[in-house]
Amino acid sequence: MTTAITRTVKVTTEEVEANTKRGGDIRVTLSPKTVGCTSGFGGVMTLDPADFITEHYHPFSEEFLHVISGTLEMTLDGKVIELGAGESLLVPIGVRHRLVNTGDSTATCAFHLSPLAPRPELGHVDTEVAQRPHESNPDVGGAR
């Protein structure tokens, strides 16, 4: 059985604002705000050497992470997992996690979170104080 695509929306990383509040350069390319999707959101992130994403968790969503390039270390509820190019990781709902670039080059990842939280502001719970309060944190959600 073939399903016809009824709507195609293309978004480039240059079209969306970087979210740097938790660290790195996170670009949410596919979201309710950018394309009107209703099941989740995703995009790409880059981390320079020694940069990190502060610890947080998602009370409603699981996160899928795929490393495109670089060497990373993900800490899940205190357990350290090494990740390299071509490797993927599932972060279950409610699990605290923190990501660090442990390599000597910029790391690039693709990510997807699903399902959506009932409201965008409920999607992330920070457990580590962000060191970047002056940097941007664009809303990744939208009216549903």
Give the pLDDT mean for 48-69.
97
**Cα separations (Å) of 45 from 12, 49, 108, 109?**
13, 13, 6, 5
| Buried b / exposed e along 96-106 (16+ C-beta atoms within 10 A) | bbbbbbbbeee
Give the pLDDT mean for 4-16.
78
Among 42-46, 82-86, 103-107, 136-140, name the one with the lowest average pLDDT: 136-140
pLDDT for residue 131 is more than 80: no
Pick among 3.50.50.60, 2.60.120.10, 1.10.10.10, 3.40.50.620: CATH of 17-85+99-118: 2.60.120.10
pTM: 0.83
